[in-house]
Amino acid sequence: MSMGELRAQELIVGSLAATAAVTAGSTLASGQVPGLRLVVGLAFTGVGLATAAMVAPDLAGSLAVLILTTTVFVYGRPLMDAVSTLTGGTTATTTAPAAPTRKGSLLA
C-alpha cells in the first residue's frame, strides 16, 4: 500500500512543524533564543524531504516521522520539565543510580 505524495507532504509539514515547536520550546526553556541554525536546518530538511517525496513518498514520510521521534527523545525532557515547572507540577528529571563497577575492569 503506497502512501502517495500528498500524504507524504502532509507528514513532512506536520513533522517539521512539531519538530520546530519542540526544539524551540526546549531552547527557550534553557534560557536561550532559537537561532538561525534551527531555521536553516528545518528549511534544508524540508526541501530534502519534499524532494525525496517526489521519488519515494513512503520513504520520505517515514523519515519525517523518524526525525520527529528523534527530536522528541532528544529535546522532549527539558521541554516537559519546563512545562511542569510553569504549571506547578513536579519535574521528570531524576538522578540515575551510579553504574556498578567491577574490580579489575578496564573502565574502573
Each residue's pLDDT tens digit, 33-46:
888 999 999 999 99
- pTM comes to 0.72
User: In this structure, which amino acid lies at residue 45?
Assistant: T
**DSSP conformational letter for 31:** T
Q: Which residue has the cell 526546549?
A: 26
Q: What is the pLDDT of residue 100?
A: 52
**Cell of residue 62, nine digits:** 517515514
Give domain status of residue 48, yes or no: yes
Helix (H), strand (E) at residue 19 = helix 5-29
Residue 3, pLDDT above cutoff 80: no
**DSSP conformational letter for 88:** T
Which residues are within 8 A (CB) of 76 and not within 5 positions of it... i.e. 6 or more apart?
A: 22, 26
Give domain status of residue 25, yes or no: no
Give domain status of residue 23, yes or no: no
Give domain status of residue 44, yes or no: yes
Our count of domains for the chain comes to 1
Q: Where in the sequence is the domain holding 79, given as residue range(s)?
A: 5-15+32-87
